[in-house]
Amino acid sequence: MEKEQTEIVYLRGNHDDELRRFMPLRFARLQIANEHVHETPRGRYLVLHGDVFDQVTTHCRWLSVVGAVGYDQLLRLNRVWNWWRRLRGKEYFSLSKAIKARVKQAVSFAGRYEDQLKELARHKGAYGIICGHIHTPADKMLDGIHYLNSGDWVESRTAIVEHLDRRMEVIRYEDFLAAAGAPPTRRLAGKPEVAVPRVRG
């Protein structure tokens, strides 16, 4: 990347509070920012972490810290639980996803979150919005706005890529390994499918 003189933009999120007081920040070709506009042939994409629309992380920091610690503990418990399941010949099971799926408020929060980001993109004249924060991978159109959510690398193992033809897509690590002809890693074997609706065209 140094040889190609690649510009890197690091977007601050809710786990980067210590950076907030230094924003915006630039070192040579590295920029640390709250948001960024990415130009594509289809139009401009507003890129941000997305935590600004989460009332807990912006207004109740103590609750956000408690939630983060609880989530980390749940992930640890999930590893032990799945080690036990694997010994018994059972498939991977995500405790945190199961809990989220059973909490109706989480579903309505995700819908409100997407709507707020869609309106922000529209207000800024962007074709689309790229975000993360809620750990739910998505690639869909919302009332004419292309909404992309990277998901997360811990559970869904998803990321957003821009292809050489400048098309944006949410990819799954397992699909990337399969396309490269590599066997799935031991940690990923038996991991559930993460459904990512895709925008075509």
pLDDT at 189: 42
14 or 121, greater pLDDT: 121
Which tens digit of pLDDT belongs to each residue from 102-156? 654 555 566 788 999 999 999 999 999 999 888 889 999 999 999 999 998 877 8
CA separation (Å) from 91 to 29, 72, 81, 118, 154?
44, 22, 11, 36, 17
Tokens 């040579």 sit on residue: 28
User: In a 10 Å sphere around its CB, with 0-12 CB exposed, 13-18 middle and 19+ buried, how is residue 14 labelled?
Assistant: middle
> pLDDT category, 42, cuts 50, 70, 90?
very high
DSSP states of 166-186 as a string? S-EEEEEHHHHHHHTTPPPPT
For the chain, give every domain's residue range: 8-179
Q: Is the dihedral of CA 128, 165, 36, 71 positive or negative?
A: positive
Q: Are 168 and 161 in contact (CB under 8 A)?
A: yes
Least confident of 4-8, 127-131, 172-176, 196-200: 196-200
Tell me the percentage of the chain whose pLDDT exceeds 90.
Answer: 30
| Residue 96 clears pLDDT 60, i.e. is over it | yes
- CA-CA-CA-CA dihedral for 93, 99, 103, 109, to nearest 10: -80
Mean pLDDT of the chain: 80
User: pLDDT value at position 180?
Assistant: 85
